[in-house]
Amino acid sequence: MVTISSNEPGTVGTATYTNRGAMAMVTTLFFMWGFLTVLNDILIPHLKSIFTLNYAEVMLIQFSFFSAYFVFAFPSGKLIERVGYKKAMVAGLFTMAGGALLFIPAASVPSFPLFLTALIVLAAGMTILQVSANPYVAVLGPPKTASSRLNLAQAFNSLGTTIGPKIGGLLILSGAPLAASVLATMTESDLHAYRIEQASSVKVPYLIFALTLIALGIVMALFKLPDMSAEHTGDASGKHGSVWRHRHLVLGAIGIFVYVGAEVSIGSFLVNYFSQPNIGNLTLQAAAGYVSFYWGGAMIGRFIGSALLQKIRTGTLLGIFAIVACLLVCTSMLFFGHVAVWSIIAVGLFNSIMFPSIFTLSIEGLGPLTGEGSGILVAAIVGGAIIPELQGVIADRIGIHHAFFLPAICYIYIAYFAFRGSHHPA
């Protein structure tokens, strides 16, 4: 039985209790980056209508955002080695705040490239948090409960993604956008004035988010977190061979790539998908509310999955969830109306355990290479940039309804990894 302490840190790797105060503090970071990440799903239909973009163009939002994970993951690891976990988390929060503040000039111009720049800065700070917070939670208590702690933290991440679309929809999608045919008849000056008016809806929300992140950064800087050094996390890869020789880690990185890509692709298209006359026939604001059900399913599934994982092998449960998710996506493509809507929403429930399960299966048995392996897995989050962009190109050619075949293929690979690819020598 794990003894829980709220004051004193345990000895990493041999701890008999989890530092509850530190765990609670770090869990707030999971909530914040979940909340801000899912707002991209609201920005996509909003900026699509303002700048009259096609699906491939508007998916540059996700491409820019998630490409930052690939670019900044390894530098974030070096930053953590130099300054430690706590200072890295504080730096990540302040960087995120800077990105949120950039939304104000982006909306004032308004400029789609400047919006993308703001998203890159925001994601850079988020990458620092991901690279530091995931392994930090894992080493914050007994090794045998590391997966449980990570699932719990990810559940609060899902809480952020659940309430984010609802709040974002109310704050950002408050105005009724004009149809593209109407915009095409407007003069240049009238079109510019319209874009300024519509884009201004992001100013106050992102200013509030920036101030919240700054306040959280200050609290984090003042909070006494247990000091976890590189030697605690076993970051000694230079002395233990190449991390790339571990086949299950490489296959797991591909698993993270396709999982994040599938999850983000589905979430990114839901508002536009539900607004289709033959699917949901909803307004953009009403459709944004339904997106919360998709992310809420992931939150509920993580709590349920945490209990199921006590009795079912991780690979087995992951494989079953991946197969069901694939079948649900296919169902949505084959039907219309309520069946198409609720089958795609239900995918969120089965997405739930995928990230923490793939993550823990991939770093299993790495020993002192665990730190470097974690960095590779975080870099693989770039799948959230590539796959939605590919689906955007496909949607422009064959329509949004059947473009979901791409996430279905992703779930097939995850099932393969779960049943076969995650196996490794003892």
Write the DSSP assignment of 369-395 as a string of letters. GHHHHHHHHHHGGGHHHHHHHHHHHHH
Instruction: Rounding to the nearest 10 degrees, give the CA dihedral for residues 189, 193, 195, 199.
Output: 160
Q: What is the per-residue pLDDT for 414?
A: 98
Lowest mean pLDDT across 74-83, 268-277, 280-289, 365-374: 365-374
Q: What is the per-residue pLDDT for 380?
A: 94
Task: Please check the confidence at residue 5 and state whether its pLDDT lies above 50.
Answer: no
Task: Please check the confidence at residue 2 and state whether its pLDDT lies above 50.
Answer: no
119 vs 237, which has greater pLDDT?
119
Task: Please check the confidence at residue 13 and state whether its pLDDT lies above 50.
Answer: no
Q: What is the per-residue pLDDT for 101?
A: 97
Sign of CA dihedral 149, 23, 383, 380: negative
Task: Please check the confidence at residue 175 and state whether its pLDDT lies above 70.
Answer: no
Q: What is the per-residue pLDDT for 218?
A: 95
Q: What is the per-residue pLDDT for 240?
A: 59
Q: What is the per-residue pLDDT for 238?
A: 43
Task: Please check the confidence at residue 239 and state whether its pLDDT lies above 70.
Answer: no
- Average pLDDT, integer, range 238-264: 87
Three-state SS for 18? strand
Domains of the chain: 13-421 (1.20.1250.20)
Calpha distance 94→89 (Å, rounded): 9
Q: What single-letter amino acid sits at 152?
A: L
Task: Please check the confidence at residue 342 and state whether its pLDDT lies above 70.
Answer: yes
What is the tens place of the pLDDT at every residue in 369-424?
Answer: 776 787 788 899 999 989 999 999 999 999 999 999 999 999 999 999 999 998 87
Q: What is the per-residue pLDDT for 174?
A: 67
Task: Please check the confidence at residue 12 and state whether its pLDDT lies above 60.
Answer: no
Q: 61 forms bridges with which residues in the sheet?
A: none
Task: Give phi and psi for 143, each to the nearest 5.
Answer: -55, -35
Band of pLDDT at residue 327, cut at 50, 70 and 90: very high
Q: What is the per-residue pLDDT for 386?
A: 93
- Average pLDDT, integer, range 291-297: 89
pTM metric for this prediction: 0.77
Three-state SS for 223? coil
Question: Are the CB atoms for 266 and 344 separated by under 8 Å?
Answer: yes
Which among 210, 206, 71, 179 has a CA at the least distance from the CA of 131? 71
Q: Provide the pairing of β-strand 3-5 with 17-19.
A: parallel
Task: Please check the confidence at residue 284 and state whether its pLDDT lies above 60.
Answer: yes
Band of pLDDT at residue 147, cut at 50, 70 and 90: low
Band of pLDDT at residue 299, cut at 50, 70 and 90: confident
What is the tens place of the pLDDT at every residue in 185-200?
Answer: 788 888 888 888 888 9
Question: Are the CB atoms for 244 and 23 separated by under 8 Å?
Answer: no
Look up residue 353 and give its two tokens. Answer: 């355990």
